[in-house]
Amino acid sequence: MRPVLFTLLLLGLCTPLHAEPLSKSEYRQAQRLFVALGCRACHDFEKSGSTLAGSLDRIGLKLNEEEILRRLQLAPEERDEANKYMPSYQTTPADQLKLLSRFLAARK
């Protein structure tokens, strides 16, 4: 490992390569939240849902937890063309969005 990267990792300045695993309770809660927020109305997930938007089955290979959370928190006017149809989650509690982000980031 390069010395600079190693130093940054030690200082916690780099994004972890893997999201922290969810407990069984957190996993079940995240699944319920995923259903309650209607994510399958647009996204395919575990061979179920829609194909209007991209599949979320392996989203953790493309985006990390922080990137997913950032996209979920964007206000409609801040979204680019690719994400303009995402619903607003501004009324969803931050801890729930964080949990959902961890859940999706683990999908690899």
CATH dotted code for 20-105: 1.10.760.10
Model pLDDT for residues 39-79, shown as the tens digit of each residue: 999 999 999 999 999 999 999 999 999 999 999 999 999 99
pLDDT for 14 beyond 50: no
Q: Determine what percent of the chain is predicted with pLDDT higher than 90.
A: 76
pLDDT at 8: 43
Q: What is the pTM of this model?
A: 0.79
Place of tokens 């928190």: 73
Give the helix, strand, coil percentages of the chain, each rounded to 5. 50, 5, 45
Would you say the C-alpha torsion 82, 65, 46, 95 has a positive or negative sign? negative
Place of tokens 């699944």: 31
Of the candidates 70, 36, 41, 37, the one whose C-alpha atom is nearest the C-alpha of residue 53 is: 41
pLDDT at 82: 84
Residue 33 is which amino acid? Answer: L
